[in-house]
Amino acid sequence: MTGFATWFVPVQKRSFNDSDDDQEFYGVYATRAPQADGRGYDVYVLGNSRPNVTVNGTTGDERRYTVGGRTWGALGAFAGGKVDGEVEGAWQFGEVGNADVSAWSIAAVLGYRPDDWRWSPRFFCGVDAASGDERQGGDVETFHQLFPLGHAYLGWADAVGRQNVFAVQAGAQLALTPSTSLQVVGHSFRLIERSDALYNVGGGVARTGLGGREVGHEVDVLVNHKIDRHVSLYGGYSHLFAGDGIAASGPSEDQRFLYLGASVVF
């Protein structure tokens, strides 16, 4: 079991940095790692405060608490292969100004790795959902994703955050050689509530006034080649196809990009 308490420290160019006592992040969590092809477990309670925020028309100082749990690991054998799975759920409560907070999120992934197939593939599918607000103003039902990883879960295009979203994914991972892996993933994104916003990967408002729930669909391709234990090369392509709901709220062109990179670990 581990506990922690942190305060935001903004960078000041011409003086010593001071912590902002109004922006806290603290909590306690416990982890039990998987044992001998079994299940692993996480449980956590987190607290977060932010001054003078606005969430879908409700403004005030925020104090929010997150209670959640996660389980992951092997699920056994099936049809000549091994099945694994992961489920995480969280509930949030607290206040924004004088309004109450009640929000939730859930994520689940199911994987299948057939035995004795060429390239040792792992096929997977999953769902990722986080609540949105049914109406502007008043009590807050928008989930706060706290401090998320950039593009670990909802696509490499970094277009959608885990707030007011229902996302599904399906894909495959292949070991083309002992040093080279290929991953292909498809995503589909929809709003939970049209009365709430589309949020970006950093938790800010990306769009309001969408004409429908459909945000878009994304395809990601990633190749990683490990040169040695210190150096890896990677490259990929991502294409985000804009959904019908985007056009009513502004520009609706597809997003596409190709990238190459290298990582060095000491």
pTM attached to this predicted model: 0.90
Please give the chain's pLDDT, 266 residues, in tens.
899 999 988 888 888 888 888 889 999 999 998 887 789 999 999 999 999 999 999 999 999 999 999 999 999 888 889 999 999 999 999 999 999 999 999 999 999 999 989 999 999 999 999 999 999 989 999 999 998 887 778 999 888 999 999 999 999 999 999 999 999 999 999 999 999 999 999 888 988 888 889 999 999 999 999 999 899 999 999 999 998 888 878 888 899 999 999 999 88
Q: How far apart are CA 22 and CA 15, in angstroms?
A: 20
Q: What integer pLDDT is reported at residue 176 of this predicted model?
A: 94
Walk me through the domains of the chain, giving residue ranges and CATH numbers.
77-264 (2.40.160.100)
Q: What integer pLDDT is reported at residue 247 of this predicted model?
A: 80
Instruction: Report the candidate in 187, 185, 207, 188 with the shortest Cα–Cα distance to residue 196.
Output: 207
